[in-house]
């Protein structure tokens, strides 16, 4: 039933019509439909009373009402409204003349006005005035006709009573049906509005999803393009830098041409990624206060070689005192570099390119202008010069390369910086790009290192110099070289990394993160170099897995990523990586980073395991090492001995000669011990003037004899400028395979033997024996 009524109400309503406009056509259809059931009681009354003329008029009226729906269906909505108004008022006149002015007039006036009002557009008062005027005119005409001709039918009191009853019933039916159908019409309209809103929401969701996929596509394409670019730029850079390579001049020129075009492709990729990041709202402003003039001047000088090659005069107009402003160096570098690149490209030999930075007194803006005497821009193209992907000459015969990205990116970055850009040009005479930036930014200044972002493609040596490969390889014997694990899914990239790294280190390769995790557990490498985007397990998941493993959490990881955004680099560092390089990168940078990380790791391990003064194992490291020896003793049998040593009269040395002399005594004792002990023996400083020793596969008696020989050597050595002669006392304990005590308990026995030696006169070595 609802479906039928919906179709009737929506006769003549186009699907593309605005729901608010469609509402009035639906109400017109409702009014037409509701008049038919309202008129049925009057048709019955006319038949019963023999009012044939009125009966025929009402049948014709109902038939003509259906004509309004037909007009609506044909799209003639205004004609339907006018026809409906004329029909209602004509019926008003005829009924009044037939039955008299005191019968149906109130109901007909109500129906006439109500019908007219339902068809008028919202907010338009003219149709309302016209509807009232038409009803009043029709009523006046009816009164004139009644006065001239009188009612056609003379009603008795009984007939008048019945008629008014039928009027009440008809009015009730009209109100009920109109309310029901009106509610239905409102429901249909609401449903339609909700459907429109849902369609709009679905469209917005699809657009957002497409935008997300576009950004994801750019990121994935970035990875797929940056990896091969790394494999192109890296070997090319190595070939051109290798003085021993037998390259002829023609071959070198070809390689340099390949390098230039590979770098040009990299710049294009970076521009596309910058646009995608701007669209996604992922580019932020990091201003810092600095000398904008000096920054732009240094940037301009980097184009000097290019300008000289083209025969162009490149100049920076000095404004006197340097212009200081709040600016984001990374953004300004991209803006000025793009404009300088365009200026040099479109300026012929013998031309001039000039850059200036100005700050008019009293103004809150600073200006950067890039002028050239190039070919200029036609007036018709000035309006679209900043449109994305627009090219002034897009024909196949154009003489200048370009993609139409640079100027659009410049405008977006200038707007991001809170500024504006304008262009002035005259064909054949040159072009001027004017940039206006706010002198002060609302964001607080940040350190320069942060302001430049993560420029990992630049050489970061942290004060370390990279020695020649041959010298570095010669520094460490092959068997002692650190082990580097390379995790990379791309076979070519994996081979490139392994080949470059194995000139200095031992290399193990893995094809993905899962394989890398297994090989890290098996080989315990000193460092891991891993790609980020890999199947099975990516680099970030690998880092988290390493951090979760107690045996692997200290292994440093360098991640290689194709994503250049600050967020991507932060994600890599937050996953547990110690450093991050963006592709394509310089292999020298990677090697310097590896060397620096391994050096710092070795220094930290040394500090963590060694005593600062003597360089011996500290208490914790010695205890851990001896614990392993005791485990081997329990597993394989044998014997080992422990010794506890204390310098005699050490407090007197410190008090009489100073702590510096005391330190010399400890250093000399440590040197003597190291020189006399076997390579398998373990020596540590236990604290203060106390030392501990472990003698694997040595009985207590042998350990005592060795310690006595060391005591004689130490006594004979003069220490310091005063030539002090010192001694020590030591206790030894032997541990067999049936050991039942802990390491601390055995040390306590050695300590007890040492104090017994002191009580017996010092300068002695005693073996602990049960009492």
SS3 per-residue string spanning 220-270: HHHHHHHHHHHHHHHHHHHHHHCCCCCCCHHHHHHHHHHHHHHHHHHHHHH
227 close to 562: Cβ distance less than 8 angstroms = yes
374 close to 430: Cβ distance less than 8 angstroms = yes
User: Regarding predicted confidence, which is higher, 468 or 713?
Assistant: 713
Which range has the worst mean pLDDT, 409-418, 665-674, 743-752? 409-418
Rounded to whole angstroms, the Cα distance separating 321 from 326 reads: 16
What are the DSSP calls for 618-642, one per residue? Answer: -HHHHHHHHHHHHHHHHHH---EEE
Categorize the per-residue pLDDT at 23 as very low, low, confident or very high, splitting at 50, 70 and 90: low
pLDDT in tens, 366-382: 999 999 999 888 888 88
- Predicted confidence at residue 753, as pLDDT, reads 94
pLDDT in tens, 313-358: 999 886 656 788 888 888 888 899 889 988 988 899 999 999 999 8
Categorize the per-residue pLDDT at 744 as very low, low, confident or very high, splitting at 50, 70 and 90: very high
Q: Is the pLDDT of residue 246 over 80?
A: no
Verify whether residue 603 is a known catalytic residue. Answer: no
Proportion of the chain above pLDDT 90, given as a percent: 24
Rounded to whole angstroms, the Cα distance separating 155 from 563 reads: 94
Mean pLDDT across the stretch 109-115? 51
Question: Per the structure block, which two tokens stand in for 562?
Answer: 């194709």
Rounded to whole angstroms, the Cα distance separating 451 from 445 reads: 9
Q: Is the pLDDT of residue 398 over 90?
A: no
Q: What residues contact residue 761 under an 8 Å CB cut-off, 6+ apart?
A: none
- Predicted confidence at residue 459, as pLDDT, reads 32
Rounded to whole angstroms, the Cα distance separating 387 from 407 reads: 8
Distance of CA 251 to the CA centre of its chain: 42
- Predicted confidence at residue 474, as pLDDT, reads 43
Rounded to whole angstroms, the Cα distance separating 269 from 271 reads: 5
Question: What does the angle CA 270 – CA 279 – CA 385 come to, to the nearest 5 degrees?
Answer: 75
Categorize the per-residue pLDDT at 93 as very low, low, confident or very high, splitting at 50, 70 and 90: confident
User: Regarding predicted confidence, which is higher, 649 or 115?
Assistant: 649
Burial class (CB in 10 A: 0-12, 13-18, 19+), 744: exposed
Give kind and range of the element (H or E) at residue 212: helix 157-241
User: Regarding predicted confidence, which is higher, 622 or 58?
Assistant: 622
Categorize the per-residue pLDDT at 495 as very low, low, confident or very high, splitting at 50, 70 and 90: confident
SS3 109: helix
Rounded to whole angstroms, the Cα distance separating 377 from 387 reads: 14
- Predicted confidence at residue 516, as pLDDT, reads 94
User: Regarding predicted confidence, which is higher, 172 or 208?
Assistant: 208
Categorize the per-residue pLDDT at 704 as very low, low, confident or very high, splitting at 50, 70 and 90: very high
- Predicted confidence at residue 142, as pLDDT, reads 75
DSSP-assigned letter for residue 550: T
Cis peptide before 588 (omega within 30 of 0): no
SS3 12: coil
- Predicted confidence at residue 122, as pLDDT, reads 45
Q: Which of 382, 392, 311, 317 is nearest to 344 (CA)?
A: 311
- Predicted confidence at residue 463, as pLDDT, reads 33
525 close to 556: Cβ distance less than 8 angstroms = no
Q: Is the pLDDT of residue 691 over 80?
A: yes
SS3 522: helix
- Predicted confidence at residue 13, as pLDDT, reads 65
Question: Per the structure block, which two tokens stand in for 602?
Answer: 């070795």
- Predicted confidence at residue 557, as pLDDT, reads 94
- Predicted confidence at residue 370, as pLDDT, reads 93
pLDDT in tens, 257-286: 777 777 777 777 777 777 666 766 666 777
Question: What does the angle CA 205 – CA 208 – CA 211 come to, to the nearest 5 degrees?
Answer: 150
Q: Which of 689, 690, 697, 745 is catalytic?
A: 689
- Predicted confidence at residue 25, as pLDDT, reads 64
- Predicted confidence at residue 470, as pLDDT, reads 40
Question: Per the structure block, which two tokens stand in for 606?
Answer: 């040394």
CA dist 104 → 62, 131, 150, 172, 212 (Å): 17, 19, 15, 15, 67
- Predicted confidence at residue 51, as pLDDT, reads 78
Which range has the worst mean pLDDT, 456-465, 504-513, 699-708? 456-465
Which range has the worst mean pLDDT, 120-124, 317-321, 418-422? 120-124
Categorize the per-residue pLDDT at 431 as very low, low, confident or very high, splitting at 50, 70 and 90: very high
What's the mean pLDDT when you consider all of the chain? Answer: 78
Q: Is the pLDDT of residue 11 over 80?
A: no
Q: Is the pLDDT of residue 552 over 70?
A: yes
- Predicted confidence at residue 306, as pLDDT, reads 82
- Look at the block and give the residue holding tokens 């576009």: 214
75 close to 12: Cβ distance less than 8 angstroms = yes
Strand partners, 317: 356
Read off φ and ψ for residue 419, nearest 5 degrees: -115, -165
- Predicted confidence at residue 607, as pLDDT, reads 61
Categorize the per-residue pLDDT at 26 as very low, low, confident or very high, splitting at 50, 70 and 90: low
Categorize the per-residue pLDDT at 599 as very low, low, confident or very high, splitting at 50, 70 and 90: confident
323 close to 438: Cβ distance less than 8 angstroms = no
- Predicted confidence at residue 287, as pLDDT, reads 83
Rounded to whole angstroms, the Cα distance separating 397 from 564 reads: 35
**Domains, the chain:** 2-203 (no CATH), 288-451 (3.30.565.10), 469-606 (3.40.50.2300), 619-767 (3.30.70.270)
3-state SS, 324-382, equals: EEEECHHHHHHHHHHHHHHHHHCCCCCCEEEEEEECCCCCCEEEEEEEECCCCCCHHHH
- Predicted confidence at residue 561, as pLDDT, reads 84
pLDDT in tens, 153-201: 776 777 777 766 766 666 566 556 555 555 555 565 667 677 778 888 8
Rounded to whole angstroms, the Cα distance separating 596 from 583 reads: 20
pLDDT in tens, 643-662: 999 999 999 999 888 889 99
- Predicted confidence at residue 442, as pLDDT, reads 59
Question: Per the structure block, which two tokens stand in for 34?
Answer: 């509701």
Q: Is the pLDDT of residue 597 over 70?
A: yes
Rounded to whole angstroms, the Cα distance separating 524 from 50 reads: 113
Which range has the worst mean pLDDT, 68-77, 318-327, 684-693? 68-77
Q: In the chain, count of helices (H) and strands (E)?
A: 25, 17
Give kind and range of the element (H or E) at residue 424: strand 420-426
Alpha-carbon torsion (309, 312, 313, 319), positive or negative: negative
- Predicted confidence at residue 511, as pLDDT, reads 92
- Predicted confidence at residue 182, as pLDDT, reads 55
- Predicted confidence at residue 75, as pLDDT, reads 64
337 close to 298: Cβ distance less than 8 angstroms = no
- Predicted confidence at residue 30, as pLDDT, reads 67
CA dist 62 → 11, 31, 45, 138, 408 (Å): 18, 12, 16, 19, 66
Q: What residues contact residue 753 under an 8 Å CB cut-off, 6+ apart?
A: 644, 730, 731, 732, 733, 766, 767, 768
- Predicted confidence at residue 469, as pLDDT, reads 39
Rounded to whole angstroms, the Cα distance separating 106 from 168 reads: 11
Distance of CA 679 to the CA centre of its chain: 54
Rounded to whole angstroms, the Cα distance separating 273 from 214 reads: 11
Q: Give the count of alpha carbons within 13 A of 109, CB side only.
A: 12
Distance of CA 701 to the CA centre of its chain: 69
């Amino acid at each position: 039933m609802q479906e039928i009524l919906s179709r009737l109400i929506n006769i003549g309503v186009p699907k593309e019509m605005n729901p608010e406009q469609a509402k009035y056509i639906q109400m017109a259809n409702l009014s037409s439909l509701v008049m038919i059931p309202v008129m049925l009681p009057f048709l019955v009354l006319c038949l019963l009373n023999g009012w044939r003329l009125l009966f025929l008029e009402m049948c014709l009226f109902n038939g003509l009402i259906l004509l309004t729906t037909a007009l609506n269906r044909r799209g003639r909505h205004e004609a339907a409204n006018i026809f409906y108004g004329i029909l209602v008022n004509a019926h008003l006149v005829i009924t009044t003349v037939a039955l008299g002015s005191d019968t149906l007039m109130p109901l007909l006036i109500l129906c006439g006005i109500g019908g007219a009002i339902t068809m008028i557009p919202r907010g338009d008062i003219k149709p309302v005035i016209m509807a009232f005027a038409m009803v009043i005119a029709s009523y006046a005409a009816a009164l004139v006709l009644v006065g001239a001709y009188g009612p056609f039918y003379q009603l008795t009191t009984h007939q008048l009573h019945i008629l008014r009853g039928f009027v009440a019933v008809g009015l009730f039916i009209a109100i009920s049906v109109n309310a029901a159908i009106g509610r239905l019409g409102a429901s249909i309209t609401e449903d339609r509005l909700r459907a429109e809103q849902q369609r709009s929401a679905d469209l917005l969701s699809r657009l957002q999803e497409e935008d997300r996929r576009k950004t994801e596509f750019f990121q994935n394409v970035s990875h797929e393009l940056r990896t091969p670019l790394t494999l192109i730029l890296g070997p090319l850079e190595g070939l051109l830098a290798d003085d021993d390579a037998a390259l002829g001049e023609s071959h070198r020129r070809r390689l340099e041409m390949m390098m230039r075009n590979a770098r040009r492709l990299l710049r294009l990729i970076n521009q596309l990624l910058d646009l995608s990041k701007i669209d996604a709202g992922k580019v932020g402003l990091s201003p810092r206060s600095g000398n904008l003039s000096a920054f732009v001047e240094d940037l301009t000088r980097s184009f000097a070689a290019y300008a000289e090659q083209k025969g162009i005069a490149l100049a920076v107009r000095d404004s006197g005192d340097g212009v200081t402003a709040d600016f984001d160096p990374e953004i300004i570098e991209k803006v000025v570099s793009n404009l300088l690149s365009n200026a040099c490209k479109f300026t012929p030999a013998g031309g001039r390119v000039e850059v200036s930075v100005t700050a008019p007194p009293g103004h809150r803006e600073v200006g950067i202008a890039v002028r050239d005497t190039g070919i200029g821009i036609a007036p018709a193209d000035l309006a679209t010069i900043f449109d994305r992907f627009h090219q002034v000459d897009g024909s196949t015969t154009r003489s200048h390369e370009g993609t139409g990205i640079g100027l659009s990116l410049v405008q977006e970055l200038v707007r991001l910086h809170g500024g504006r850009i304008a262009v002035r040009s005259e064909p054949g005479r040159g072009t001027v790009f004017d940039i206006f930036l706010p002198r002060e930014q609302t964001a607080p200044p940040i350190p320069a290192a942060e302001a430049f972002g993560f420029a990992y493609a630049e050489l970061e040596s942290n004060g370390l110099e990279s020695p020649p490969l041959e010298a570095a390889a010669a520094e460490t014997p092959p068997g002692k070289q650190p082990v580097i694990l390379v995790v990379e899914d791309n076979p070519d990239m994996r081979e490139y990394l392994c080949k470059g790294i194995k000139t200095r280190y031992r290399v193990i390769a893995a094809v993905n993160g899962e394989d890398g995790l297994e090989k890290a557990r098996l080989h315990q490498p000193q460092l891991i170099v891993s790609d980020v985007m890999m199947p099975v397990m990516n680099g970030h998941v690998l880092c988290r897995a390493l951090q979760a493993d107690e045996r692997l959490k200290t292994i440093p990881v360098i991640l290689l990523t194709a994503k250049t955004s600050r967020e991507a680099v932060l994600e890599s560092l937050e996953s547990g990586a110690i450093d991050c390089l963006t592709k394509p990168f310089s292999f020298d940078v990677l090697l310097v980073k590896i060397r620096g990380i391994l050096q710092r790791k070795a220094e930290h391990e040394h500090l963590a395991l060694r005593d600062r003064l003597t360089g011996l194992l500290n208490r914790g490291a010695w205890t851990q090492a001896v614990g392993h020896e005791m485990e081997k003793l329990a597993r394989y049998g044998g014997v080992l001995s422990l010794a506890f040593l204390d310098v005699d009269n050490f407090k007197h040395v410190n008090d009489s000669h100073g702590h510096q002399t005391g330190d010399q005594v400890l250093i000399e004792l440590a040197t003597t011990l190291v020189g006399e002990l076997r390579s398998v023996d373990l020596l540590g400083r236990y604290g203060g003037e106390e030392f501990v020793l472990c003698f694997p596969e040595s009985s207590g008696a042998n350990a005592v004899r060795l310690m006595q020989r060391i005591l004689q050597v130490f006594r004979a050595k003069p220490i310091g400028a005063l030539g002090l002669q010192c001694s020590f006392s030591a206790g030894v304990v032997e541990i067999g395979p049936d050991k039942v005590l802990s390491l601390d308990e055995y040390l306590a026995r050695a300590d007890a033997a040492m104090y017994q030696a002191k009580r017996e006169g010092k300068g002695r070595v005693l073996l602990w024996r049960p009492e």
